[in-house]
Structure 1
């Protein structure tokens, strides 16, 4: 057992790195536990073409500017390189290849038990594991009879893997539209959603939307609690996606009612032969390691107020969607949330 730390941070992606930065700024010793081989979170597992919707100037963590043209939109691999460099700036003990299986709590200390048999103990614990490890997979009527493949967007990598297929992408958010659009260059694609796709301009009046979020203060407003049950967020678009859908590449339909053998079926008995269904249906918090201490609801969601646990003194969360503001789960937002959380944890134990 490793003791002597002031805080444990579970998860070495953007959220965990930002939290570690702010905890160290307050003089706390930190052990950062990362399941993967290096502290870059889930980014290496995202699809190959993933590009941020926020320019580099709005995509940095506290204390290190994102390199390159401030107005360029970083690619997935740019983010990986950036996080790798950011981790090197932290004066903290980073422990890779330490997947936390369970956490115990004795009333004062948290102990994180990892899959290697190691354990780490501290009076403060920050859960920063995001949601990539816990994809939301809805139950589709007839899925057990479907002869094609059903995969979550977390498993999607490249459109060339689906060349010539008949694909249905389920969802109406940014990832669903981006995946469906690039797939449509290689396959026959339908985007199916329960709600309409809502587009917002990426660059209104010639400036990126995040510029307007920043100067108006919308990005920092504490309105996350109002957005948690909001319908799918709008899709940022330069015109590419709206034009593609207008050309039926991909075509857009309401959500199908069932899967049957090798087809998707709608309520009017219209059907489409389908090879693969890709679910761009989001994620749920990946916090199973906290099941044993009573910090979660029966559904597995954390009991918290703006990132601070309402069940355990010294326990905090970061990187949750809508945790504090509309940007809480993003590169541009986790630094602000980490600042608030570290200040409250520093004085709250």
Structure 2
């Protein structure tokens, strides 16, 4: 007989762990399924120099503070270590190396299919984030380009680009940070659709979280709120980006209309050769395993109210950013969404599985 869990969480990264904290406090019988072999979530795949945008005291999961870092912002290895110790500290039941292929629901019970067998539960939390669904635009000629190209999801270190004239595409934080470090080892151009916009030097991720929270509260109350000065999509001035600004390398070359075998064709028709391209063009949502259960669009977005699915009772989606809860893709922003989700699960179980 299969064990029937109150809740199964799909994904053992920061979102899954935050939900696990509240599920444990609620004394529910739950399991976290994670396809990674070790703890750390998407941070395991991030480039080596990636840091948080906020100091450690403003970057903690519920219940246990992240240890203070020697750096202004905690580095990748410190975040991975924190997530590992958090999981151990709360003795969260994570089953590793388990990738979910599909989920179905019959007679009020979810069937979660994996290569390790089927798991069953009364409710499910999808917490798989975005890293597994990198987005590269389908531009004309992209299939003809013969140089080296990768998405930022697979970028690790600038050492792989030494001596390669490199084009970096995308005006967000990842684009700016990768321009900052690759430009130290080789010739780089930065292609953006619009002029990159930079936040004031003193603004970090915690400040942005507070702006997002104030905007969220105002919208709930039907009040106007102007957050234009601190657009959440603008670039955070972490130390490497500040240093790159001083070197004068954070200058956009504009956008290009297509690719050819050796490079790109700029908007003015001029061709330019590049030996490598790094696509910092964002991510969709890693929710393909839900397609057998609920409809999702081309980006992987499903219909929700906050984190609660509108298409099937007993399903929640946590940690996918503004779509499932304001700032819920950040460590500090997860707390509210995870707490509310588990409270809703408790009410659902009480009403539907007495």
TM-score normalized with structure 1 length: 0.90
2:209–2:327: 8 Å Cα contact kept in structure 1? no
Between 1:160-169 and 1:267-276, the stretch displaced more is: 267-276
**Distance of aligned partners of 1:107 and 1:284 in 2 relative to their CA distance in 1, 3 Å threshold:** farther
**Contact between 2:161 and 2:182, CA under 8 Å: does it hold in 1?**
yes
- Residues of 2 paired with 1:232 and 1:221: CA distance? 16
Q: How has the CA–CA distance of structure 1 residues 216 and 275 changed in structure 2, closer, same or farther, with 3 Å as cutoff?
A: closer
How far 1:257 sits from its partner (Å)?
1.0
The corresponding residue for 1:157 is 156
Change (3 A) 1:343 1:78: same
Q: Structure 1 residues 245 and 266, CA, compared in 2 at 3 Å: closer, same or farther?
A: farther
- Cα–Cα, structure 1 residues 250 and 189, in superposed 2: closer, same or farther, change >3 Å? farther
CA distance in 1, matches of 2:263, 2:106: 53
Q: Distance in 2 between the 1:217 and 1:137 partners?
A: 30
The aligned counterpart of 2:223 is none
The yes-or-no answer on 1:128 pairing with 2:127 is yes
Query: What SS does the aligned partner of 2:338 have?
Result: helix
Shift of 1:40: 1.8
Note the aligned Cα RMSD (angstroms).
2.6
Q: Would the aligned equivalents of 2:213 and 2:326 in 1 still touch at CA under 8 Å?
A: no
Residues 327-342 of structure 1 mapped to structure 2, 5 A cutoff: 327-342=327-342
Map of 2:319 onto structure 1: 319
Deviation at 1:326, TM superposition (A): 4.4
Residue 218 of structure 1: aligned partner: 214
Give, in whole Å, the separation in 1 of the partners of 2:292 and 2:37: 26
What residue is the counterpart of 1:108 in the other structure?
108
The whole-number CA distance in structure 2 between the counterparts of 1:71 and 1:243 is: 15
After superposing the two structures, state which structure 1 stretch, 195-204 or 102-111, moved more.
Answer: 195-204
Q: Do structure 1's residue 203 and structure 2's residue 202 form an aligned pair?
A: yes
Q: Deviations over 1:247-291 (max 9, x none)?
A: 442542111111112121112122321011111111111011111
CA–CA distance in structure 1, aligned partners of residues 83 and 239 of structure 2: 30
Q: CA deviation at 1:221?
A: 3.7
Report the equivalent of 1:188.
187
Question: In structure 1, how many angstroms separate the alpha carbons of the residues matched to 2:141 and 2:85?
Answer: 47
Give 1:37 shift: 1.3
Could you list the runs of 5+ residues in structure 2 that have no partner in the other structure? 221-225, 350-354
Work out the number of aligned pairs and report it: 341
Alignment of 1:57-72 (within 5 A): 57-69=57-69, 72=72
Contact kept? 1:201, 1:238, Cα under 8 Å: no
C-alpha contact (below 8 Å) 2:307/2:325 kept by paired residues: no
Answer yes or no: is the 8 Å Cα contact 2:191–2:255 preserved in 1.
yes
Q: Is the 8 A contact 1:199 1:236 kept in 2?
A: yes
Residue 240 of structure 2 is aligned to residue 244 of structure 1: no
| Segments ≥4 residues shifted beyond 6 Å | none
Measured after TM superposition, the shift of residue 96 of structure 1 is 0.7
Q: Secondary structure at the match of 1:87?
A: helix
1:106-146 CA distances to partner (integer Å, 9 max, x unpaired)? Answer: 14111111122x21111110000011011111112211221
- Tell me the CA shift for residue 153 of structure 1: 0.4
Residues 264 and 271 in structure 2, CA contact (< 8 A), matched pair in contact too: yes
Q: Which residue is equivalent to 1:49?
A: 49
Partner of 2:271: 271
Q: 1:213·1:219 contact (CA, 8 Å) conserved in 2?
A: no
Query: Which segments of 5 or more consecutive residues in structure 1 lack a partner in the other structure?
Result: none
CA distance in 1, matches of 2:335, 2:239: 30
Question: What is the SS of the residue equivalent to 1:181?
Answer: helix
The SS at the match of 1:323 is helix
Q: Give distance in 2, aligned partners of 1:294 and 1:65.
A: 36
Deviates more, 1:293-302 or 1:119-128: 293-302
TM-score norm. by structure 2 comes to 0.89
Q: Out of 319-328 and 241-250, give the one that drifted further.
A: 241-250
